[in-house]
Structure 1
Amino acid sequence: MPLHLLPPPRRPVPPLLTPTVPHLARLLLSHAPTTPPLLLALLPSCPDLLTPLLSYLLLSHSPPLPALTLYRRLLTLRNFPVPESSLPVLLRLLARSRRYAHLSFPLLESLPSTHPHLLSTPALAVLLSTALGSSGPGASFDAAVTCFDSAAGVWARAGRAFGGAELNALLRAFCARGRVAEARALFHRYCNAYPPDTRTFNTLLLGFKEAGHAQALDLFYHDAVLRGFVPDAVSYCVRMDAYCKKGRFLDALQLLDEMRTKENCKPTLQVFTTLIYGAGIVRDAVRARQLFDEMEEWGVTPDRGAHNALMGAYVRARDLQSAMAVMEAMERKRVGLDDVSYNTMFCGFQRVGDLEGIWRVYTKMVGSGAMPRTRTTMLLMKVFCENGRPDLGLELWGYLMGKGCLPHRHALDVLVTGLCCRGAVLEAYRCFREMIDMGMAPTERAFRILEGFLRRARAFGKVEEICQMMKAIQLDAQQTEEVAV
């Protein structure tokens, strides 16, 4: 058989003499759905890598079953210190999949006798958020309350305290979705059993903000103050954010002046970042810069989020030269760039149609070894393929796969379409197969597009092959679901 017709080999797993998160992720996914013994031998010597590994799998949209299987195996190992921060990340992985979301609470119930330290407020918050998103409004309300009451029993069996922090997690789950009326009802339902604190009232303020009810927020705030609530910097920040998102930037600035008059409520990093972001909404880049420079006068050191907010203000004002200067300053100060930084600049250059600018920032991102999140990957893939450069999309695909990151299925849709339209059908076939080899089923759209172009090329052997692969991955998904249950 000619070499170009041979199926592409599976990517070799890099040596793990010095384990790194991308290498561990690649090792785990390449052996899915089973857990490789080498991984079980490596993690006990470096347990702190478990949470970064799970976070890496979450950000790369990897299937949840390999992570769940690994976690269950690690729970059975004696003397393995499972980090408390690892469980919320795993629960988020499961929550993202309808197929495995129902396994979250049974996993939690199994922990009191063996790993009670894993029962934490962040883990509960993920469970409550999952319950709220699993069905319609009425049913989800009952599901969240049931989850909360059941969790109280699990915490009690583990000898863990269950009180105000957990109530705040319940209220925050509703408020984050703008369901503030239900949050207030739950507040009155549980406030006697779990005494509220300042964070409780701030959470309810957050609910009004997320619902977009600025007037109702003001009424609730002033009523709470009359009842003895003492606002803190977070209270002011929530109100500022609500005003900024309504375009009431001057009202937000008045709150800053009010904070300056209080002795125990100085403006914080979050307050300045919120106001800089608000200045960007009204496209007042000059005021955004003034607020950024004013931070040092209050003894506040700008972090990456503040720099990103300033960069976003310049982008909204279409001053991309100043935005790039902020990015360069972040590198010079060693503040570090993240996906928000890169995505902000990509969006700015895309808005003005500057493909060269996108390429400069993309080169910088790849050179730093950063792993883009799904929204950035999708933006780049669309820009490359829609502008007749699917070869750059293929390069991006190889970069992500080389770091053990499985791109989102819709990124494969865009790439397959771009490659096939440019005659690179075999490259599209290779990417399609790589996704299946990593345990993820491509979308029906990608399958149909690739199938059609392979038929046009009279590559009937490959047509039959991808048909069998799709059937196998779908059957395997059903079988692994049964095993997981």
Structure 2
Amino acid sequence: MAELLEKAGVSLSTELIDGVLKRVRFSHGSGSQAFEFFCLMARQRGFFHSSYSYDTMLYILGRERKFEKVWGLLREMRIKDQSLITPRTLQIVLARIAKACSVRQTVESFTRILRYSKHLDSTDSFNALLRTLCQEKSMGDARNVYHSLKRSFRPNILTFNILLSGWKTPQEAESFFGEMIELGCKPDLVSYNCLVDALCKGRELDKALKIVQMMREKEIYPDVMTYTSIIGGLGLMGQPDKACEVLKEMREHGCYPDTPAYNAAIRNFCIARRLGDAYRSMDEMVMKGLSPNPTTYNLFFRCFYQSNDLSSAWSMYQRMMETGCLPNTQTCMFLIKLFKRQEKLEMSLRLWNDMVERGFGSYTLVSDILFDMLCDLGKLIEVEKCFLQMIDKGQKPSNAAFKRIKVLMELANRQEAITYLSKKMEAFAFSPQLKE
């Protein structure tokens, strides 16, 4: 690797190394070779890795469960400069450990990391641990850890809001909200919004509305998130029209709906299969100066996919592109699955080319379905072209897709093409990550 870099004559900078590691992270490149590259750079005279590079390398190693190297890197950071270990570092390491290890091991790792840097605030770090447990484990685990460690830290309003936002039942949320008040922590707008959201999702709308009234009495005025929760709750109770009235009520209280609020109203109509009203709500939001986002469009795409409505899906996709709202991965997956189901080759290739040209969506997820369809249809030229486009974009096709393409090429006696693509796959393990 060192020889390759020397021959390339690339001028190494912190920004370049950050970019290379970022590319490895998001393309799921080889962690071992990325670490080799990382260590090689660290040995260069006068070069020092940034905090971003360290964090990215820790993420890559953690994703591959190479925790010995993770701890080795953290020790190196502690020796070189403890300030390199930031709250972001803590969050990254805890998330990777929690995903692969037990709650006990996660808590032990948290305690160990705190000893590595005096720059980490104890309460903020405690909140990071709780947030990680909420996301990667369970709300019960987070609460148990909170109760076992709360005397060692000083819980603040953020601590309670993290835990409050994770409850899945209204009863649990109400109980913890009461506990929070008993401990002398005054709820803020975020606290009330968490409680209202839990009540709405639990279809206890009457209680949610009483909480909103209580907020006003305490001069904590509902914001757009409060109303969005209520709109969603009305939809769950089969009242999409009443939810639209909330959009008008918001304005009367000086709180103007945003895109997520309209999305909640549109979702209600989509669930009720009232697509005409859903379209009218989207047109209304545009008239109000709001731009639909990928989530807005995906509400429609989900309906089109479920009803096998190719024509409406394609029209919506064209509208999306014309308005400059780039699709996200979920959009692309709805479309490519629908195209494959109906064997629409031209539409599939159009979507793929748009992805390549405009840089949206997940090449890895979409390519698996696209390549599968192209192989089913025996389109060797097209699949080879798309395969190479993907590699040129610094993205590695899946091994399963490559094996299927190889089998098809072997049947067509295209040995030269197989050799060429094989070399591309072998080289991709690291080299393409250097491209900018």
Shorter-chain TM range is 0.7 to 0.9
**Candidates 132, 142, 162, aligned match of 2:98:** 132
Mapping 1:101-180, distance limit 5 Å: 119-135=85-101, 140-156=102-118, 160-177=119-136, 179-180=138-139
Corresponding position: 1:237 with 2:193:
yes
- Give the corresponding residue for 1:409: 364
1:292 and 1:102 map into 2 onto residues whose CA distance is 53
1:332 and 1:54 map into 2 onto residues whose CA distance is 43
- Give the corresponding residue for 2:303: 348
Aligned partners of 1:385 and 1:414 also within 8 Å: yes
2:226 and 2:144 map into 1 onto residues whose CA distance is 29
Structure 2 gap segments, 5+ residues each: none
Q: In the superposition, relative to structure 1, how do residues 117 and 361 fare at CA in structure 2: closer, same or farther (>3 Å)?
A: farther
- Give the corresponding residue for 1:287: 242
1:80 and 1:326 map into 2 onto residues whose CA distance is 53
The CA deviation at 1:294 is 2.1
The CA deviation at 1:374 is 2.4
- Give the corresponding residue for 1:383: 338
2:255 and 2:66 map into 1 onto residues whose CA distance is 43
Aligned partners of 1:176 and 1:206 also within 8 Å: no
The CA deviation at 1:394 is 1.6
| SS at 1:423 equivalent | coil
What whole-Å deviation, never above 9, does each CA across 1:41-90 have from its counterpart, x for those lacking one? Answer: 9x69xxxxx89x999997x756486998799979x9999997x8x67984
Q: In the superposition, relative to structure 1, how do residues 218 and 449 fare at CA in structure 2: closer, same or farther (>3 Å)?
A: same
1:339 and 1:268 map into 2 onto residues whose CA distance is 23
Give the letter for the 1:376 counterpart: T
2:235 and 2:22 map into 1 onto residues whose CA distance is 30
**Candidates 163, 172, 181, aligned match of 1:225:** 181
2:222 and 2:111 map into 1 onto residues whose CA distance is 38
The CA deviation at 1:217 is 3.1
1:415 and 1:237 map into 2 onto residues whose CA distance is 42
The CA deviation at 1:170 is 0.9
Aligned partners of 1:284 and 1:317 also within 8 Å: no
Aligned partners of 1:339 and 1:376 also within 8 Å: yes
- Give the corresponding residue for 1:215: 171
The CA deviation at 1:114 is 7.2
1:324 and 1:89 map into 2 onto residues whose CA distance is 44
What whole-Å deviation, never above 9, does each CA across 1:266-325 have from its counterpart, x for those lacking one? Answer: 212221122222223333211221222222233323233223222222222222233233
| Greater relative CO (CA pairs within 8 A, separation 6+) | 1
**Candidates 253, 257, 263, aligned match of 2:213:** 257
- Give the corresponding residue for 1:442: 397
What whole-Å deviation, never above 9, does each CA across 1:69-112 have from its counterpart, x for those lacking one? Answer: 799979x9999997x8x679847963784267876665565556
Aligned partners of 1:91 and 1:127 also within 8 Å: no
2:192 and 2:339 map into 1 onto residues whose CA distance is 43
| SS at 2:290 equivalent | coil
Give the letter for the 2:110 counterpart: F
**Candidates 204, 215, 226, aligned match of 2:163:** 204
Mapping 1:251-330, distance limit 5 Å: 251-263=207-219, 265-330=220-285
2:9 and 2:261 map into 1 onto residues whose CA distance is 42
1:367 and 1:70 map into 2 onto residues whose CA distance is 42
Aligned partners of 2:231 and 2:243 also within 8 Å: yes
Aligned partners of 2:199 and 2:205 also within 8 Å: yes
Q: In the superposition, relative to structure 1, how do residues 316 and 405 fare at CA in structure 2: closer, same or farther (>3 Å)?
A: closer
TM-score, normalised relative to structure 1: 0.73
Give the letter for the 2:109 counterpart: C
Q: In the superposition, relative to structure 1, how do residues 217 and 326 fare at CA in structure 2: closer, same or farther (>3 Å)?
A: same
TM-score, normalised relative to structure 2: 0.80
- Give the corresponding residue for 2:410: 455
1:480 and 1:108 map into 2 onto residues whose CA distance is 28
Aligned partners of 2:332 and 2:361 also within 8 Å: no
Q: In the superposition, relative to structure 1, how do residues 118 and 248 fare at CA in structure 2: closer, same or farther (>3 Å)?
A: farther
**Candidates 269, 273, 291, aligned match of 1:336:** 291
2:8 and 2:266 map into 1 onto residues whose CA distance is 43
Aligned partners of 2:41 and 2:47 also within 8 Å: no
What whole-Å deviation, never above 9, does each CA across 1:18-56 have from its counterpart, x for those lacking one? Answer: xxxxxxxxxxxxx99x99958959x69xxxxx89x9999
The CA deviation at 1:404 is 4.4
Give the letter for the 1:381 counterpart: I
- Give the corresponding residue for 1:14: none
Give the superposed CA RMSD: 4.2
1:322 and 1:110 map into 2 onto residues whose CA distance is 59
| SS at 2:165 equivalent | helix
The CA deviation at 1:347 is 1.2
Q: In the superposition, relative to structure 1, how do residues 270 and 114 fare at CA in structure 2: closer, same or farther (>3 Å)?
A: farther
1:39 and 1:386 map into 2 onto residues whose CA distance is 47
**Candidates 139, 149, 153, aligned match of 1:190:** 149
Between 1:61-70 and 1:298-307, the stretch displaced more is: 61-70
Structure 1 gap segments, 5+ residues each: 1-30, 45-49
Aligned partners of 1:62 and 1:406 also within 8 Å: no
The CA deviation at 1:428 is 0.8
The CA deviation at 1:232 is 2.5
The CA deviation at 1:401 is 1.9
Aligned partners of 2:126 and 2:153 also within 8 Å: yes
Q: In the superposition, relative to structure 1, how do residues 98 and 427 fare at CA in structure 2: closer, same or farther (>3 Å)?
A: same
Aligned partners of 2:266 and 2:282 also within 8 Å: yes
Q: In the superposition, relative to structure 1, how do residues 113 and 334 fare at CA in structure 2: closer, same or farther (>3 Å)?
A: farther
Aligned partners of 1:440 and 1:473 also within 8 Å: no
Q: In the superposition, relative to structure 1, how do residues 334 and 150 fare at CA in structure 2: closer, same or farther (>3 Å)?
A: farther
